[in-house]
Amino acid sequence: MNLTKTDRLDWNDLRFLLTVVRTGSAAGAARALHVSHTTVLRRIQALETVMGCALFERASGGVVPTEAGSHLARLGASIESGLADTTRQIDAQATDLSGSVRFTTTDSFGFFVVPPILASFRQAYPNIRVDLVVTNTRLDLEKREADVTLRPSRNPPESWVGMRLARFDFGMYASRHYLADRAHTPWQMLDLVMPDGALEAPGAMLRAHAGLNPGIASSDTFTGLTCMAASGMGATLLPRFIGDLDSRLTLVKALPDVWSTNLWILTHAHLRRSGRVRAFMAHLAQGIRALRPILAPAAAE
Residue 270 has pLDDT above 50, yes or no: yes
Assigned CATH topology for domain 5-90: Arc Repressor Mutant, subunit A (1.10.10)
CA Rg, the chain, in Å? 24
| Rounded Cα distance, 279 and 271, in Å | 12
Q: In the predicted model, what is the mean pLDDT of the chain?
A: 85
What pLDDT, on the 0 to 100 scale, is given for residue 76?
Answer: 81
* b/e code 27-58 from CB counts within 10 Å (16+ = b): ebbbeebeeeeeebbebbeebbebbeeebbee
Angle (CA) 294 295 298, round 5°: 85
Ranges 58-67, 104-113, 160-169, 171-180: which has the least confidence: 58-67
- Phi (first) and psi of residue 58, to 5 degrees: -70, 145
Question: Tens of pLDDT along 60-71?
Answer: 778 888 888 888
Band of the pLDDT at 49, cuts 50, 70, 90? confident
Query: For the chain, where do the domains classified as CATH 3.40.190.10 start and end?
Result: 93-168+261-300, 170-259
What pLDDT, on the 0 to 100 scale, is given for residue 1?
Answer: 34
| Rounded Cα distance, 150 and 157, in Å | 14
First vs last C-alpha separation in the chain: 79
Q: How far is CA 74 from CA 29, 64, 77, in A?
A: 17, 14, 5
Ranges 86-90, 170-174, 205-209, 275-279: which has the least confidence: 86-90
Give mean pLDDT, residues 245-268.
Answer: 90
Q: What is the CATH number of domain 93-168+261-300?
A: 3.40.190.10
Give mean pLDDT, residues 86-95.
Answer: 59
Model pTM? Answer: 0.65
Give mean pLDDT, residues 150-159.
Answer: 80
What pLDDT, on the 0 to 100 scale, is given for residue 31?
Answer: 87
What pLDDT, on the 0 to 100 scale, is given for residue 144?
Answer: 74
Residue 221 has pLDDT above 60, yes or no: yes
Residue 298 has pLDDT above 90, yes or no: no
Contacts of 120 (CB under 8 A, 6+ apart): 283, 287
Query: For the chain, where do the domains classified as CATH 1.10.10.10 start and end?
Result: 5-90
DSSP 8-state secondary structure symbol assigned to residue 247: T
Q: What is the CATH number of domain 170-259?
A: 3.40.190.10
What pLDDT, on the 0 to 100 scale, is given for residue 177?
Answer: 92
| Rounded Cα distance, 179 and 177, in Å | 5
- Which is nearest to 300 in space by CA: 250, 252, 248, 241? 241
Residue 301 has pLDDT above 60, yes or no: no
What pLDDT, on the 0 to 100 scale, is given for residue 2?
Answer: 39
What pLDDT, on the 0 to 100 scale, is given for residue 3?
Answer: 42
Question: Tens of pLDDT along 227-238?
Answer: 999 999 999 999
| Rounded Cα distance, 213 and 186, in Å | 11
